[in-house]
Chain A
């Protein structure tokens, strides 16, 4: 049984223009230890696929026309909101693009991490190293300890004292580390990272990618990394799925797909990135390709 198994996922969205289908049958299987890169351009539906897995699309305006998302054998589309909340804190971790807007500026980092730890602990006390009957005080103390450990594990120096700092006292890269720590507190089995390094400088990006890679190696989790950056995929992903207009055009191990792309769109994408050998004025872009060719 795969860790995550998306079959024939079809999603539509309602808006002023009427209802439009956004996802046209997504199939994707993620095993533990795999880092799946999901690449695609704006409007390809890659983010909506990620949000569907964490069930963060409100219905309406969204509507699932068909398909299932099996997470450890359980269909997430049929799970109650209550169960889903428990899953999100505990088994599915999420990181988003902008590290500034996802931390509440008026609370200390520690308060926010402890909240997450307590939430995870309520569904499963073993996350905090406690048994079910532990007292409230034990819970609080254990949650704080877990929060500090989480900060340490993402490489924040002097975590025990920095835990009482406010978000603005951290740099952009450090804030993203805090968010990763937050996502990892519940010891999730699956991490969904939506453009986790897009807002960061390249030197910081390299550190965050290294961190994600280490977490996978250490904890044997599965990762769905959503990005538009082919370089990032080439660097850390084991597998890649190329999305275009709500469909996966090509998927497989990174070394196969990026070295020997079988789809014209993947080829065009790869030739759109300037390399050392590209002569000026000769970047390819998508010219010469029409959308109909891909469907």
Chain B
């Protein structure tokens, strides 16, 4: 078991009322439990406001949990010391949704991809020259070229930027990649290329994926297991085939039906034609 989430709840405090009182809190996560198997892809499906972003932040300890625990390789990450947590971050990386916002516009590709190695210098132990070599190796691995090394993010297309984001995440050799809607801001053909890249990297490096998406088609394509989250609760989880072919929960069914099917003959509006 690489990542295990046990009964996690997260309550955001309500607005202040008067000098001491507080209004009712907002329960973003309500008793969420799930486990991600090593080397597999786990999909988390939910719409906006479902709590999927909060859950990611809790997994990365960018947010505290109100109850429950997040276990990474058997260790409760919310109980770790700051020093131990910093070391653990090298083993658990994230790729963000928006390739335009997730790269610092004032840094070159080299500096962006090398940054994790600089931060984790004590564990990685690379000198400047080794870092540059590793950056080039990573760029080639994600399908970019060494000429791109000293360019700035704005000189790249959305798909290329997402590749830079993936290279950065891979820099310190993580075991778990959290993919927060990594393709939802991309064109379909580019999405296809990035999904293929992710698949190839998983096979080559034995990565575990925690894949967050609202696109059921993509989740079905890339994931082994899936959980559906609605208003902070997991309403259904299990192997992909069983959830997609025989959904038990009403909300899952609504989601599946609402997915626009690219086959025009299956459109609900075209029955009369």
Bound Cα distance from A174 to B209, whole angstroms: 35
Identify the closest chain B residue to A199 (Cβ).
Answer: B48
Given known contacts A42-B187, A268-B189, A272-B189, A229 and B260 CB-to-CB distance under 8 angstroms: yes
Identify the closest chain A residue to B191 (Cβ).
Answer: A272
Bound Cα distance from A234 to B216, whole angstroms: 17
Is A134 an interface position by the 8 A CB rule?
Answer: no
Task: Output the residue of B158, B255, B258, B266 with the most chain A CB within 10 A.
Answer: B258
Q: Using an 8 Å CB-CB cutoff, how does the interface string of A251-263 with B read, 1 for contact, 0 for none? A: 0001100110000
CB distance from A213 to the nearest CB of B (A): 5
> Which stretch, B2-10, B121-129, B217-225, touches the partner chain A?
B217-225
Q: Using an 8 Å CB-CB cutoff, how does the interface string of B234-272 with A read, 1 for contact, 0 for none? A: 000000000010000000001101111111111111000
- A residues in contact with B221, CB < 8 Å: 274, 278, 280, 283
Is A205 an interface position by the 8 A CB rule?
Answer: yes
B195 pairs with A283, CB closer than 8 A: yes
User: Which residues in chain A, 189-248, are within 8 Å of chain B measured between CB atoms?
Assistant: 201-203, 205-206, 209-210, 213, 228-236
Could you say which of B188, B195, B261, B269 contacts A41, with CB atoms under 8 Å apart?
B188
Could you say which of A234, A272, A282 contacts B188, with CB atoms under 8 Å apart?
A272
A203 pairs with B255, CB closer than 8 A: yes
Identify the closest chain B residue to A172 (Cβ).
Answer: B48
Bound Cα distance from A232 to B191, whole angstroms: 17
CB distance from A194 to the nearest CB of B (A): 16
Could you say which of B48, B188, B199, B244 contacts A269, with CB atoms under 8 Å apart?
B188
Is B190 an interface position by the 8 A CB rule?
Answer: yes
Is A273 an interface position by the 8 A CB rule?
Answer: yes
- A residues in contact with B192, CB < 8 Å: 271-274, 283-285
Is A157 an interface position by the 8 A CB rule?
Answer: no
CB distance from B203 to the nearest CB of A (A): 8
Bound Cα distance from A120 to B80, whole angstroms: 64
A201 pairs with B214, CB closer than 8 A: yes
CB distance from A94 to the nearest CB of B (A): 22
- B residues in contact with A234, CB < 8 Å: 260-264, 266-267
B265 pairs with A235, CB closer than 8 A: no
B262 pairs with A258, CB closer than 8 A: yes
Identify the closest chain B residue to A214 (Cβ).
Answer: B269
- A residues in contact with B254, CB < 8 Å: 203
User: Which residues in chain A, 62-110, are within 8 Å of chain B measured between CB atoms?
Assistant: none
A231 pairs with B261, CB closer than 8 A: yes
Could you say which of B189, B216, B264 contacts A285, with CB atoms under 8 Å apart?
B189
CB distance from A47 to the nearest CB of B (A): 13
Task: Output the residue of B157, B220, B260, B266 with the most chain A CB within 10 A.
Answer: B260
User: Which residues in chain B, 4-60, are within 8 Å of chain A measured between CB atoms?
Assistant: 47-48
B47 pairs with A201, CB closer than 8 A: yes
B187 pairs with A258, CB closer than 8 A: no
A228 pairs with B188, CB closer than 8 A: yes
Bound Cα distance from A209 to B267, whole angstroms: 11
A235 pairs with B269, CB closer than 8 A: yes
A281 pairs with B196, CB closer than 8 A: yes
- A residues in contact with B158, CB < 8 Å: 42
- B residues in contact with A282, CB < 8 Å: 196
Identify the closest chain A residue to B219 (Cβ).
Answer: A274
Is B200 an interface position by the 8 A CB rule?
Answer: yes
Task: Output the residue of A232, A269, A278, A285 with the most chain B CB within 10 A.
Answer: A285
Could you say which of B196, B199, B262 contacts A230, with CB atoms under 8 Å apart?
B262
- B residues in contact with A284, CB < 8 Å: 192
Q: Using an 8 Å CB-CB cutoff, how does the interface string of B118-142 with A read, 1 for contact, 0 for none? A: 0000000000000000000000000
B220 pairs with A274, CB closer than 8 A: yes
Is A295 an interface position by the 8 A CB rule?
Answer: no
- B residues in contact with A269, CB < 8 Å: 188-189
Is B73 an interface position by the 8 A CB rule?
Answer: no
Given known contacts A236-B267, A258-B264, A231 and B189 CB-to-CB distance under 8 angstroms: no
Bound Cα distance from A255 to B264, whole angstroms: 6
Is B193 an interface position by the 8 A CB rule?
Answer: yes
Bound Cα distance from A234 to B259, whole angstroms: 11
A287 pairs with B193, CB closer than 8 A: yes
B196 pairs with A285, CB closer than 8 A: yes
Is A293 an interface position by the 8 A CB rule?
Answer: no
Is A270 an interface position by the 8 A CB rule?
Answer: yes
The 10 A-B pairs of least Cβ separation, nearest first, read A231-B260, A274-B221, A283-B192, A41-B187, A201-B47, A285-B192, A272-B192, A206-B258, A234-B264, A285-B193
Q: List 10 A-B contacts (CB under 8 A).
A: A41-B187, A41-B188, A42-B187, A172-B48, A202-B214, A206-B258, A272-B192, A281-B203, A286-B193, A287-B193
Extra contacts, 15 of them, besides A41-B187, A281-B200 (Cβ < 8 A), are A206-B260, A234-B264, A234-B266, A236-B267, A255-B265, A269-B188, A272-B191, A272-B192, A274-B192, A274-B195, A274-B218, A276-B220, A281-B196, A283-B221, A286-B193
